[in-house]
Amino acid sequence: MHSLTRSLAHVLHSLGLDQRRCAHCLRPFSPADLTSPQDAFCPQCAVELKPHSGPCCHLCGLPLAGTHAPGNAVCGACLQDPPPWHALAFHGLYQGTLRDTLLQLKFDGKIYLAKALAYFLLEAASCLPLPDAVVAMPQHPNHLRNRGYNQAHELARALCHLAALNLRTDLLARVVPGPAQAQLSARARRENVRHSFRASPLTAGMTLWLLDDVMTTGSTLRSATHALLTAGADRVDVLFVARTPQHT
Separation between Cα atoms, residue 215 and residue 98, nearest integer Å: 13
Q: What is the pLDDT of residues 142-157, one digit of tens each?
A: 888 888 899 999 999 9
What predicted TM-score, i.e. pTM, was given to this entire model?
Answer: 0.83
Q: How many domains does the chain have?
A: 2
Residue 86, by phi and psi: left (phi above 0), alpha (psi -120 to 50) or beta? alpha
What is the rounded average pLDDT of the residues 191-203?
83
- Virtual CA dihedral for 128, 130, 133, 135, nearest 10 degrees? 20
Nearest CA-CA partner of 191 in 212, 220, 213: 220
Same domain? For 53 and 31 the reply is no
Task: Tell me which residue range forms the domain holding 86.
Answer: 49-243
Q: What is the pLDDT of residues 46-72, one digit of tens each?
A: 888 999 989 999 999 999 986 566 667
Nearest CA-CA partner of 77 in 91, 59, 65, 90: 59
Same domain? For 34 and 140 the reply is no
Same domain? For 133 and 196 the reply is yes
Looking at every residue in the chain, the average pLDDT score rounds to 85
Same domain? For 75 and 101 the reply is yes
